[in-house]
Amino acid sequence: MVRISIRAAHIACAAMLGTMATSARAQPAGESDGPRVDADRIEARILSLSEFGRNPEGGVSRVAFSEADIEGRAYVMSLMREAGLEVRVDPAGNIIGRREGTDASLPPILFGSHIDSVPFGGNYDGDVGVIAAIECAQVLQEHGIQTRHPIEVVVFPDEEGGLTGSRAMIGKLGEGALSERTHSGLTRREGIRAIGGDPDRLAEAERAPGQIAAFMELHIEQGASLDEDGVDIGVVEGIVGIEWWDVTIEGAANHAGTTPMGSRNDALLAAARYVQAVNEVVTSEPGRQVGTVGRISAEPGAHNVIPGRVHTSLEIRDLSREVIWSLFERIEARAAAIAEETGTTFTFTLLDVSSIPATMNEAVRGVISDAADALGLSWVSMPSGAGHDAQDMARIAPTGMLFVPSRDGISHSPREFTTKEDMANGADVLLRSLLAIDAGALE
């Protein structure tokens, strides 16, 4: 069931009639509509954050636990202090910026996202949610607004590596994930220590159900629908589950000149057929499921040697775990047939970074869409094809997520972009939702 605001329907009609207004920042009547965020300050801080790990060709490589990540974390912690937050790093490396409420008996409202990036990523994935969350805290401080609940701005570490910080917060960060080597070159355990955590005390980072009043995450859509349809806000219904495998294909290295074509155990040939098979299996069903082979390397990697071994990968995503695993079984069967044809063997190793599909809390979704309506912003309910820390947080607290448009739907790329107005719209909706929840909207 997809709910859209009346305004979005008007916009959709206007778009069809070609009278589409570009998305600008809705201006309510005046301060009586409550405090508003500072769009220029948000944009300036996003640009400052983009300096940490900046790539000469644009975008950023601020991979978790790298020097750039550590410097970026120090920068956002300085902003959190400027916003009047009490800042600490928990044993999992989560940065927590806390502001007390008037009623100490109430559990905190948490909101935030991540600032680590994929290699050669963009300047908005995660960053918008963190900078906007800090902006909300700063606006509350500047307007002298005291909330009843304590509030906590959270910066989760290593979201791109498998939702590490939120995984630890729900007590699901296991040994497999800790010992895995990350893009930074450090194991996850070493990385958590490098950013000020203590992997031997992860239990102290855990939050139990009931300990958090609500969690919200503002994020760029990373897809094209908001931008294409001219809608300001996406109200997330659910977040896909994700499973990752390392795949090793063993053949036999041999002389490229003297080995007849019919006598080869060519691991790279098998890999080529495997990549094609993944695409055929995943596209053979209707639906939103996706399957990706994101990485491949052949050994020994010489012109004149038949590849004896290939290391590659597999990722499958869907809102249903059953769909993910039924697709995997079909891919595994196709790989067995390819192994037979090419005289190779396939090994699939499931990584300990899977994320469970999550449904967003109905009441929190209503708070977010009401806030968008009150601000005169168009919104639409939608699923998330990207994984997010919110899908972990949904297991311990009423959780909601809102999107702002990504230009041309581009993400995980230096070409990722979201306008100042769209970032401010999202931050205003986040601020208003936070105040509504604090006033008892979920009680």
Contacts to ligand HGY by CB under 6 A: 125, 159-160, 386-387
Q: How far is the CB of 241 from ligand HGY (least distance, A)?
A: 11
Residue among 221 and 266 whose Cβ is closer to Mn ion? 221
Site for Mn ion in 287-306 (CB under 5 A): none
Report what 234 binds from ligand HGY, Mn ion, none; CB cut-off 5-8 Å by kind. none
Residue among 64 and 83 whose Cβ is closer to ligand HGY? 64
Q: What is the 3-state secondary structure (H, E, C) of 325-341?
A: HHHHHHHHHHHHHHHHH
The helix (run of H) or strand (run of E) holding residue 318 is strand 309-318
**Structural tokens at position 81:** 């202090």
Report what 387 binds from Mn ion, ligand HGY, none; CB cut-off 5-8 Å by kind. ligand HGY
**Structural tokens at position 94:** 């989560």
Q: How far is the CB of 386 from ligand HGY (least distance, A)?
A: 3
Residue among 375 and 393 whose Cβ is closer to ligand HGY? 393
**Structural tokens at position 347:** 């090994």
Q: How far is the CB of 151 from ligand HGY (least distance, A)?
A: 25
Residue among 111 and 346 whose Cβ is closer to Mn ion? 111
Q: How far is the CB of 273 from Mn ion (least distance, A)?
A: 30
**Structural tokens at position 33:** 């509509």
Q: How far is the CB of 116 from Mn ion (least distance, A)?
A: 9
Residue among 119 and 343 whose Cβ is closer to Mn ion? 119
Residue among 5 and 384 whose Cβ is closer to Mn ion? 384
Q: How far is the CB of 88 from ligand HGY (least distance, A)?
A: 25
Name, in order, each residue with C-beta under 8 angstroms of 251's C-beta and a sequence gap of 6 or more.
Answer: 264, 265, 266, 267, 268, 270, 306, 307, 308, 309, 310, 342, 343, 344
Site for Mn ion in 125-154 (CB under 5 A): 125-126
Angle, helix 39-49 to helix 127-142, in steps of 10 degrees: 140
Q: How far is the CB of 130 from ligand HGY (least distance, A)?
A: 14
Question: Which residue in this structure is represented by tokens 């190793």?
Answer: 349
Report what 194 binds from Mn ion, ligand HGY, none; CB cut-off 5-8 Å by kind. none
Report what 127 binds from Mn ion, ligand HGY, none; CB cut-off 5-8 Å by kind. none
Rounded CA-CA distance 318/242 in Å is: 7
Cα dihedral sign for 47, 111, 34, 107?
negative
Rounded CA-CA distance 404/227 in Å is: 9
Report what 237 binds from ligand HGY, Mn ion, none; CB cut-off 5-8 Å by kind. none
Name, in order, each residue with C-beta under 8 angstroms of 342's C-beta and a sequence gap of 6 or more.
Answer: 251, 264, 265, 266, 269, 270, 273
Residue among 33 and 352 whose Cβ is closer to ligand HGY? 352
Site for Mn ion in 96-125 (CB under 5 A): 125
Residue 217 CB: number of other CB atoms within 10 A? 32
Q: Residue of minimal CB distance from ligand HGY?
A: 386
Binding site for Mn ion (CB under 5 A): 125-126
